[in-house]
Structure 1
Amino acid sequence: MQTTSLTVSAPNQFIERNGRRLAYRRFGAGQPILFCNRFRGDLDTWDPAFLDALAAQGFDIIIFDYSGLGLSTGERTYNPLVLAKDVIDLLDALELPQVVLGGWSVGGLVAQVVFATAPQRLSHLVLLGTNPPGELPKMAEQLFYDLAGKPENDFDDYVQLFFEPRSAASRQAAADSFARLQLRQTERSVPVSGEWAGSLLAATGGKPRSNFFPAPAVLEALKHTTLPILHIGGDHDISFPVENWYALNEQLPTMQLHTFPQAGHGPHQQYPEASAQTIATFVRTATATPQPAAVQSQTVAS
Structure 2
Amino acid sequence: MNAPTAPDSAATTPTRFIEAKGRTLAYREIGSGPPLILCVRFRGILDSWDPAFLDALAQNFRVITFDYSGLGQSTGSASYRPERLAADAIDLADALGIAEFVIGGWSLGGLAAQVVTVQVPDRVTHLVLIGTCPPGPLDPPSEPIFLQTALKPINDLADETILFFEPESAASRAAAALSHDRINARSSDRSPPIPPETYLALLQDRAGQDIFADTAGYADFLATCGIPILVITGDHEIVFPAPNWFRLNRVWKSLHLLVLPQMGHGPQHEVPDMAADLIASFVKNRAKR
TM-score of the superposed pair, with normalisation by structure 2: 0.94
Pairwise CA RMSD of aligned residues?
1.8
Which residue of 1 is the match for residue 32 of structure 2? 29
Label 1:117 to 1:203 Cα distance change in 2 as closer, same or farther (>3 A).
Answer: closer
Cα deviation code 1:161-209 (max 9, x no counterpart): 000001000000000000000111110111111232234446777x8x5
Which residue of 2 is the match for residue 223 of structure 1? 223
Matched residue of 1:282: which SS? helix
**Runs of 4+ that moved beyond 4 A:** 2-5, 199-205
C-alpha contact 1:80 1:213 (8 A) present in aligned 2:
no
User: Amino acid of the residue matched to residue 10 of structure 1?
Assistant: T
Cα deviation code 1:224-271 (max 9, x no counterpart): 111100000000111111110112111110000111111000010111
Structure 1 residue 77: Cα displacement: 0.9
Which residue of 2 is the match for residue 20 of structure 1? 23
Instruction: Give distance in 1, aligned partners of 2:153 and 2:125.
Output: 38
Which residue of 2 is the match for residue 298 of structure 1? none
Cα deviation code 1:205-232 (max 9, x no counterpart): 7x8x535344551101111111100000
Tell which deviates more after alignment, 245-254 or 214-223.
Answer: 214-223
C-alpha contact 1:101 1:111 (8 A) present in aligned 2:
yes
Tell which deviates more after alignment, 210-219 or 31-40.
Answer: 210-219
Quick check: 1:44 aligned with 2:37?
A: no
C-alpha contact 1:44 1:188 (8 A) present in aligned 2:
yes
Instruction: Give distance in 1, aligned partners of 2:158 and 2:25.
Output: 31
Aligned length: 285
Cα deviation code 1:72-108 (max 9, x no counterpart): 0001110111111111110111100010100000000
Equivalent residue runs for 1:96-107 within 5 Å: 96-107=98-109
Which residue of 2 is the match for residue 136 of structure 1? 138
Quick check: 1:9 aligned with 2:18?
A: no
Pick the aligned partner of 1:125 from 109, 124, 127.
127
Which residue of 2 is the match for residue 72 of structure 1? 74
C-alpha contact 1:133 1:210 (8 A) present in aligned 2:
no
Equivalent residue runs for 1:239-254 within 5 Å: 239-254=239-254
C-alpha contact 1:150 1:195 (8 A) present in aligned 2:
no
Instruction: Give distance in 1, aligned partners of 2:282 and 2:158.
Output: 33
Structure 2 unaligned spans of 5+: none
Quick check: 1:285 aligned with 2:271?
A: no
Cα deviation code 1:24-53 (max 9, x no counterpart): 001111111010000000000100111111
TM-score of the superposed pair, with normalisation by structure 1: 0.90
C-alpha contact 2:79 2:202 (8 A) present in aligned 1:
no
Cα deviation code 1:101-136 (max 9, x no counterpart): 000000000000111111111000000000101133
C-alpha contact 2:38 2:104 (8 A) present in aligned 1:
yes
Which residue of 1 is the match for residue 199 of structure 2? 197
Instruction: Give distance in 2, aligned partners of 1:285 and 1:68.
Output: 37
Instruction: Give distance in 1, aligned partners of 2:166 and 2:271.
Output: 12
Matched residue of 2:217: which SS? helix
Equivalent residue runs for 1:74-223 within 5 Å: 74-201=76-203, 209-210=209-210, 212-223=212-223
C-alpha contact 1:177 1:269 (8 A) present in aligned 2:
yes
Which residue of 1 is the match for residue 263 of structure 2? 263
Structure 1 residue 4: Cα displacement: 7.1
Structure 1 residue 60: Cα displacement: 0.5
Instruction: Give distance in 1, aligned partners of 2:112 and 2:275.
Output: 20
Matched residue of 1:62: which SS? strand
Matched residue of 1:231: which SS? strand
